[in-house]
Amino acid sequence: MKELTKNENIKDWYLKNFELFEKQMNGHNHELLKKMRETSLAKFSEFDFPTNKNEEWKYTDVSFARKNKFNPLPSERKTGYTKDEIKKLVFGGFDYNLITFVNGRYSAELSDISEDGDKIIIGNLNGFIESHGEIAGNYLGKISSEDNLFHALNGVYMQDGVVVVLKENSELSKPLQALFINGDPEENLLIAPRNLIVAGKNSRASVIFNYYGGSKESYFTDGITEIMLEEDSLIDVYKIQRENPSSYHIEKLQAIQKDGSVLNHYNLNFGGRLIRNDINSKLDGENIETHYYGFYLGKENQHIDNHTFVDHAKPNSMSNELYKGILDDSARGVFNGKIIVRQDAQKTNAYQQNKTVLLSADARVDAKPQLEIFADDVKCTHGATVGHLDEEAEFYIRSRGVPSDLAKSILIRAFAADVIDEIKIVELKEQINHLIFEELHRQEVSF
């Protein structure tokens, strides 16, 4: 990576590059984006990089972003990918609507979208703003706030992203897979996707975010995803993150849910040097359901940090969270799950569970479940457990003639099952199980 010299300041370096970035955007610098970038630029100037003195970053060291230069200017190099190669990267081997981004840039030739019309809009952010500026202005930047330096940095350098707009009573007949291929063999890039999903009243869709490391070089993905669920809508969001061991990934997802809506979010982390996910939902109505399912597999010196936040703002809704992690070698995990039940949110049901298995003496997890309850007629539980594989169960399996490594693999996959089994797309579930098996055997799990 390109490190700063003693006389350089990383914030000044990003600010200096902003003028070049604006020039390179050329026709993709709509007035809406210009205003958003100007606002973000002012916030970026005010924010400092978070340190372990900040409670929300207590267990996650982000000094990599302060000490190294990640080029925010869009890469001019050709993608180098063929359609046949893209087919191999599409996760789940299923018939999808496909939208592809290479190093933050939309690739029309590597995308295949069959459901884009009057009732359903699928496309890239820049094209969407040009053709549907009024809709973009109603939602973009209105769902998620910029609460720290990384959010503001995304606002300054957002290049493109996936947009899905479902009008009232519409439904995607097949899932959308958004494939983000990141990594340049010649430089360390900053990639800043801004994604938007708007689900109109009584609409339905499944969206898969597939983040893939396309090179061995270090890069930094700094993303924001905004989701609006109107009345009685249902959205399934899958995030599959399998990037290279030198990459860094920080992303915030913010959802706002209205009466009767359902959000199912599946967060699956397998690759990257440092991963930080902030997954937030505001339940701004009644009879809402929010389900968070998470699974992460860390090895070597990986750091995987998942922060969730569920804000029960109104009565008669429920949330359910189940996060599980497996850590080997010197990997470190962080789980911070916060639930707020506000004074008016009577009849709330909120459940949260985090479980971690450590496969080595050097692996570590820091778990911090949080409940803040300001209403009295509620049912809320939370818990976190850390342990090792069940030796008695392993002995039982081995006594049936199963080799040691396979017995341990069976136990690990059983541990992950109650998260993975919630995946609705059968082909996706099968490939996730296969990926877990591959990762376990690739790293020669130490147990």
pLDDT at 322: 98
Same domain, 406 and 278: no
> Is 296 part of any domain?
no
- Tell me the per-residue pLDDT of 341-397, one tens digit each, with 9 for 90 and over: 999 999 999 999 999 999 999 999 999 999 999 999 999 999 999 998 877 787 778
Report the percentage of the chain scoring pLDDT > 70. 95
The Cβ of residue 399 has, within 10 Å, a number of other Cβ atoms equal to 9
pLDDT at 154: 98
Non-local (6+) Cβ contacts of 120 within 8 A are: 164, 165, 166, 167, 170, 172
Residue 20 has φ and ψ, to the nearest 5°, of -65, -40
> Is 378 part of any domain?
no
> Is 75 part of any domain?
yes
Non-local (6+) Cβ contacts of 102 within 8 A are: 79, 81, 110, 181, 182, 214
pLDDT at 406: 80
pLDDT at 356: 97
Considering its fold, how many domains does the chain have in total?
Answer: 2
Concatenated DSSP letters for 335-401?
EEEEEEE-TT-TTEEEEEEEEEEE-STT-EEEEEEEEEE--SSEEEEEEEEEE---HHHHHHHHTTT
The Cβ of residue 104 has, within 10 Å, a number of other Cβ atoms equal to 24
**Under 8 Å between Cβ of 414 and 440:** no
End of a domain among 253, 284, 315?
Answer: 284
CA distance linking residue 331 with residue 362, whole number of Å: 8
Same domain, 396 and 279: no
CA distance linking residue 31 with residue 438, whole number of Å: 47
Average pLDDT, stretch 140-161? Answer: 96
End of a domain among 239, 268, 284?
Answer: 284
What is the H or E stretch that residue 87 is in? helix 83-89
Asked whether residue 446 carries a pLDDT value surpassing 50, the answer given is no
Same domain, 279 and 396: no
- Tell me the per-residue pLDDT of 321-335, one tens digit each, with 9 for 90 and over: 999 999 999 999 999
> Is 322 part of any domain?
no
pLDDT at 50: 95
End of a domain among 284, 312, 329?
Answer: 284
**Cα dist. 326→34, 95, 367, 438, 447 in Å?**
43, 31, 13, 14, 11
Across the chain, what does the average pLDDT equal? 92
Asked whether residue 58 carries a pLDDT value surpassing 70, the answer given is yes
Rg, C-alpha atoms of the chain:
21
For residue 386, the cross-strand partners are 356
CA distance linking residue 302 with residue 57, whole number of Å: 16
Strand, coil or helix: 441: helix
Asked whether residue 91 carries a pLDDT value surpassing 90, the answer given is no
> Is 96 part of any domain?
yes
CA-based end-to-end distance of the chain = 33
* 84's tokens: 């046949």
Strand, coil or helix: 9: coil
pLDDT at 333: 98
> Is 295 part of any domain?
no
pLDDT at 444: 46
> Is 202 part of any domain?
yes
Same domain, 17 and 163: yes
What is the H or E stretch that residue 432 is in? helix 426-442
pTM reported for the whole predicted model: 0.95
Concatenated DSSP letters for 278-323?
EEEEEE-SSS-EEEEEEEEEE-TT-EEEEEEEEEE-SSS-EEEEEE
Residue 4: pLDDT band (50, 70, 90) is: confident
Of 38-42, 184-188, 244-248, 269-273, the least confident: 184-188
For residue 290, the cross-strand partners are 263, 319
Report the percentage of the chain scoring pLDDT > 90. 78
Same domain, 260 and 408: no
CA atoms within 13 A on the CB side of 320: 10
Concatenated DSSP letters for 162-209?
EEEEE-TT-B-SS-EEEEEEE-BTTBPBEE--EEEEEE-TT-EEEEEE
Torsion of CA 357, 360, 361, 367, to 10 degrees: -30
CA distance linking residue 317 with residue 256, whole number of Å: 13
- CA-closest candidate to residue 76, choices 187, 156, 153: 187
Strand, coil or helix: 69: strand
For residue 124, the cross-strand partners are 162
Q: Tell me the residue range of the domain where 216 lies.
A: 10-284
Same domain, 276 and 422: no
> Is 291 part of any domain?
no
Average pLDDT, stretch 175-196? Answer: 94
pLDDT at 442: 63
Angle at 334 between CA 328 and CA 337, to 5 degrees: 140
pLDDT at 79: 64
